[in-house]
Amino acid sequence: MFVRPPAPSCPAGPTHGAGHARGLCPSRRPVTPARLLSNDGPQPTSRKLRRATCARSTTRRDFLLAAAAAAPCTCAVCLAQTQAGKDAYKRFFAQALATTMDEYEERVGPRKAALLGSNLAALAAAAGRSPSRRLAVLDLGVGAAPNAPYLVAVPGMGRVTGVDPNPFMFPYARARAADAGFLVACGEGTEDGGDDASASPSHRPTFTTVRAAAEGLPFPDASFDAVVCTLVLCSVTSVQDTLAEAARVLRPGWRFLFSEHTAAGWSEAPLIRAAQALFDPLQQALADGCHLTRDPEAGLAAAPGLRLVEVERFTVPGMAFIGPHVAGVAVKKE
């Protein structure tokens, strides 16, 4: 009777047939990347065997490449590209912005109070000529709402809508707005602008947050009396599209109020300008896309829907290369 011999490399001998067939025998171990790398199979002894092994090593290489491509990389760069990594970064940036800007706000506060206070008071007076009409203000890139105390103090303020693409900003923004005295809407708003810019029945100004990018605002044309923009044109993807959208949602003749850090002039401050050029890529990576070398004044001068009517350049002391600033007023063209 013919008895089939076991595979020569099977150490369990001829009696373990079932185990061999189920892959329990070391000679039938499943192929794994570790085993492929260890190269522990039989070594080629003849030309035929060498050819077979060569074909198998091509398969091994493909297998290893496929395994490497499928395996999630855990290096910091790849982790940062995942949604969880992006969210963690946005959350961190929101917390950093909410907790580290007090000194900056103190230094820039008097200028902000003048810019926002006097302009918005004038707008409120104009709006107040029609009965029950109160101011509707859009705070672009609201962040942690450092402008809330200035806005709530304007007589005739109706509602402020804070727009930001980073939703992790909103808890900080709402808390600061509530502290300042706003009636804060719970959750995110879906503001549609609208003509009636009246405040809450108690006439306490309201504050709402809306998640959106400045380049695509979810509001109808001519739905705001003023657009406030502080430290935002440095971070948006497109300055041109942002200003076009701001002009679209403003009522004709009403105002865009801005205070931004800017590129220093090469002739006035060459060292600061050189440092801005040098650190620009690092600043973009660390500060959520903030550019050091943008010139918001040039962007505003070129914006088709806006007319620049007031510009002031100044330096915020102790702020290194984000010290050079430009602030002012642009009016929506009629």
Q: Residue from 6, 165, 167, 220 that binds ligand SAM (CB under 6 A)?
A: 165
Closer by beta carbon to ligand SAM, 133 or else 143: 143
Q: Which residue is nearest to ligand SAM (CB)?
A: 143
Neighbour tally for 292: CB within 10 Å: 26
Under the criterion CB under 6 A, does residue 191 sit at the interface with ligand SAM? no
User: What is the distance of C-alpha 166 from the center of its chain?
Assistant: 6
For the chain, the C-alpha Rg in angstroms (whole number) is 32
3-state secondary structure 135-174: EEEEEECCCCCCCHHHHHCCCCEEEEEEEECCHHHHHHHH
CB of 98 to ligand SAM, least distance (A): 9
How near is the Cβ of 194 to ligand SAM at its closest, in Å? Answer: 21
d(Cα 194, Cα 180) in Å, to the nearest integer? 25
Helices 170-180 and 83-100 cross at an angle (nearest 10°) of: 30
Residue 208 binds to ligand SAM (criterion: CB under 6 A): no
Q: CA 241 to CA 247: how far, in whole Å?
A: 10
Query: Judged by CB under 6 A, which stretch of 30-38, 122-130, 207-215, 324-332 contacts ligand SAM?
Result: 207-215
Tell me how far apart the alpha carbons of residues 230 and 240 are, in angstroms, rounded to a whole number. Answer: 16
Does 169 participate in binding ligand SAM (rule CB under 6 A)? yes
Residue from 32, 58, 59, 237 touching ligand SAM (CB under 6 A): that is 237
The one segment of 33-41, 60-68, 120-128, 161-169 that binds ligand SAM by CB under 6 A: 161-169
**Which residue's structure tokens are 């101011």?**
135
Separation CA 37–CA 65 (nearest Å): 12
Q: Which stretch binds ligand SAM (CB under 6 A): 1-9, 79-87, 208-216, 296-304?
A: 208-216
Minimum CB separation of residue 303 from ligand SAM in Å reads: 16
Residues 123-152 that bind ligand SAM (CB under 6 A): 140-143, 146
Instruction: Give the shortest CB-90-to-ligand SAM separation in angstroms.
Output: 8
Is 140 within 8 Å of 233 (Cβ atoms)?
no
Residue 171 is a binding residue for ligand SAM (CB under 6 A): no
- Is 236 among the residues that bind ligand SAM (CB under 6 A)? yes
Of 127 and 232, which CB lies nearer to ligand SAM in the complex structure? 232
Q: Is 241 a binder of ligand SAM (CB under 6 A)?
A: no
Residue 231 interacts with ligand SAM (CB under 6 A)? yes
Q: According to CB under 6 A, which residues from 79 to 98 bind ligand SAM?
A: 97
Interface region with ligand SAM, contact rule CB under 6 A, candidates 59-67, 71-79, 164-172, 301-309: 164-172
Per DSSP bridges, beta strands 206-211 and 324-332 are unpaired
**Which parts of the chain fold into alpha helices (H)?**
17-21, 33-38, 47-70, 76-81, 83-100, 102-127, 148-152, 170-180, 239-249, 270-286, 296-302
Point out which residues bind ligand SAM (CB under 6 A): 97, 101, 140-143, 146, 164-166, 169, 213-215, 230-232, 235-237, 288
